Chain A
Amino acid sequence: VRCRFFDIIALQPIPKVFARFFVILFIRNRVCRVIEMQQSNCSLSSRIRQMILRCAKRANVGHIGSALSTVEILAALYWHVLRIPAPEDPQRDRFILSKGHAALALYVTLFLKKWITEKELVTYCMDDSLLGVHPDHLLRGVDFSTGSLGHGLSLGAGAALAARLSNSSRRVCVLVSDAECNAGSLWESVMFAAHHRLSNLIAVIDLNGQQALDYTERVLDLSPLSQRWRAFGWDVHEVDGHDIESISTTANELATISGPPHAIIARTIFGKGVSYMENQIKWHYWPMSDEDYRQALEETRKTLGSDR
């Protein structure tokens, strides 16, 4: 698209060039921006999904469904919300993957952000790798080691309090699984953050409705989840967890200077993008067979667009 603009511009006399240039630019921005963003978001999530599948197949491990449900959330946060000039910047926004078992989606994200190398990424679950099933803070771009459910939000509350005590405008974002809302420790942190009005703390709850052994409503019913968080004093928003733009817009409109902490309840589909994994309990732990893998690659290409 861009090349065509420059071709047209190059053939015009100078004053006309400028006039046309600005008109075209204006129209292009207004009309094409939304389409382009949708296209790039779509190809971004497709790319993340395919890389998750490749790494999971190479390592022959599970937790694929959990990783797939977080793809758009991570894409929204890392490409449109979090301010991270470099993973070493002390003033960076902090991100905590409290649902540590979705680490593979985070590794792929960190790779696409160019914070870890392909050489590192391919060591996923190999001996002497920093990339395990759950994230390790020694890996570049990982702020906290997680994996024990119900831990991450307390780390986030401390990080948010630290930002306030340091008069920093940095924010802290914690990606929490719905099953983590079973844990009493999570609600300790929920109460603390509300009491101290940690407005710079954002919890994104990946509401995929599943946990390791069963559907959340059959294990320990969480509903009405929004009302519960709201009753504890949080500012609660509900979004489609597979709509990058909706997640980004919601997160970027939050008041993070003062007021209550924020919860974004992101309704997702466990195993999103791979038909036979969607909403299936077994894909919490199950690794893919060769046939599964071929089909998964094909579907993530077909349904979400390809950028091979």
Chain B
Amino acid sequence: MRQAFMHTLTTLAKKDPRILLITGDLGYGVVDLFRKTFPDRFYNVGVAEQNMVGIATGLAEAGFLPFVYSIVPFAVLRPYEFIRNGPILHRLPVRIVGIGGGFDYGTNGLTHYGLEDIGVMRAQPDIMVIAPSDEGQTRNALLATWDMPGPIYYRLSKDETRVVPGLNGRFETGRAQVIREGKDIIFITMGSVTNEVTDAAAALSGEGISCAIVVVASLSPPPVEDLIGLLSRFRVALTVEAHYITGGLGSLVAEIVAENGLNCRLIRCGAHKTPHGEIGSQAYLRQINGLSSGELFNLALSEREKEHPCNHH
């Protein structure tokens, strides 16, 4: 997603001289295209993320469109108060680009995981929060939003390869995208972990369980109407996110279910606890946090059984 984002951003920067790229000394091999094309509009501010967001705020006040870039926890958590008191408080078009999210930086450890970024960003009413699921959706999300007033947070996965089947790069702010129709269970997902869900749904269909999948890339503004319509048709919904189960997509769906009195049981899949001493590949971390396709398959089977104990075979 990083390459697609940077490629699209460079293209946009050719027609809009307001666009600047500011990195906190990250993006080796990723920021090169922009840096080479616009050496005067690229700044590496060093390992100084508070200042990075502060100067972006000062630049945006004067009419520039700065994109600040770092790994999720350094783009969001370290300068969080600067984001709040800067672009959000002043309603300025600063774009926070967080790379990774979830367990993308698996072997790097918790310092590099993004497990609460959606939660803390979603808690701020006046910043758009976007977490695309694949490259095509990343490209279209950027094209649909780059020019919008006010700040935006983009959470981009490191995954450059897998394409989410059925998504075809669709994106619309405040909308959700159905990528698979089904009638028994609905999966609601965000980000690159969507591929685990599509694999699980394919396996579940082999067991005679028909799963719908809906992708939520526009976390804020949330696709409330879309989700009400979809959730009303299901008895069981599973949210799947590479994020703590509090504050992110699962919480968003829980709010919608509760506030609209929907008759739908919700199971939130995600990280339940701080990963103390848990190091490994993204695949391993997804698995031990119940987010691998296999774990999701097992969970969906048992949840389905609770709904229809007699039909189990």
Chain A: residues with CB nearer than 8 A to chain B?
90, 137, 143-145, 147-148, 150-151, 153-163, 165-166, 172, 184-185, 188-189, 191-192
Contacts and interface: CB of A to CB of B under 8 A. Distances in A.
A191 B90 CA distance: 25
Interface string B11-54: 00000000010000000000000000000100001101011011
A122 B86 CA distance: 28
B90 A137 contact: yes
Contacts of B227: none
A188 B61 contact: no
B45 A192 contact: yes
Contacts of A159: 58-59, 61-62
Majority SS at the chain B contact face: helix
B56 interface: yes
Contacts of B203: none
Contact of B53 (A154, A166, A172): A154
Q: Considering residues A144, A147, A154, which has the most beta carbons from chain B within 10 angstroms of its beta carbon?
A: A154
Given A145-B89, A185-B82, A192-B48, A162 B57 contact: no
Task: Name which of B51, B53, B81 has the most chain A CB atoms within 10 A of its CB.
Answer: B51
A156 B58 CA distance: 6
B280 interface: no
Nearest to A160: B58
Nearest to B91: A137
Contact of B54 (A151, A165, A172): A151
B50 A161 contact: no
B48 A191 contact: yes
Contacts of B48: 188, 191-192
B25 to A, nearest CB: 12
22 contacts: A143-B61, A151-B81, A151-B82, A151-B85, A154-B54, A154-B55, A154-B82, A155-B54, A155-B55, A155-B58, A157-B54, A159-B59, A161-B55, A161-B59, A165-B40, A165-B59, A165-B64, A166-B62, A166-B63, A185-B54, A185-B82, A189-B54
Contact of A157 (B51, B60, B63): B51
A189 B61 CA distance: 17
A147 B85 CA distance: 9
A185 B51 contact: yes
B85 A189 contact: no
Given A137-B90, A145-B90, A148-B85, A158 B56 contact: yes
B61 A192 contact: no
Contacts of B85: 145, 147-148, 151
Given A155-B58, A157-B51, A192-B55, A162 B63 contact: yes
B90 A158 contact: no
Pairs of residues from A and B, 8 with the lowest C-beta to C-beta distance, nearest first: A158-B58, A154-B54, A158-B55, A162-B62, A188-B51, A188-B48, A159-B58, A185-B50
Contacts of B81: 148, 151
Interface string B66-102: 0000000000000001100110011000000000000
A157 B54 CA distance: 8
Nearest to B62: A162
A192 B51 CA distance: 8
A191 B58 contact: no
Contacts of A165: 20, 40, 59, 64
B126 to A, nearest CB: 13
A189 B51 contact: yes
Contacts of A155: 54-55, 57-58, 61, 86
A308 B236 CA distance: 75
B54 A162 contact: no
B120 to A, nearest CB: 17
Contacts of B57: 144, 154-155, 158
A172 B90 CA distance: 18
A150 B54 CA distance: 10
Contacts of A160: 58
Contacts of A161: 55, 58-59
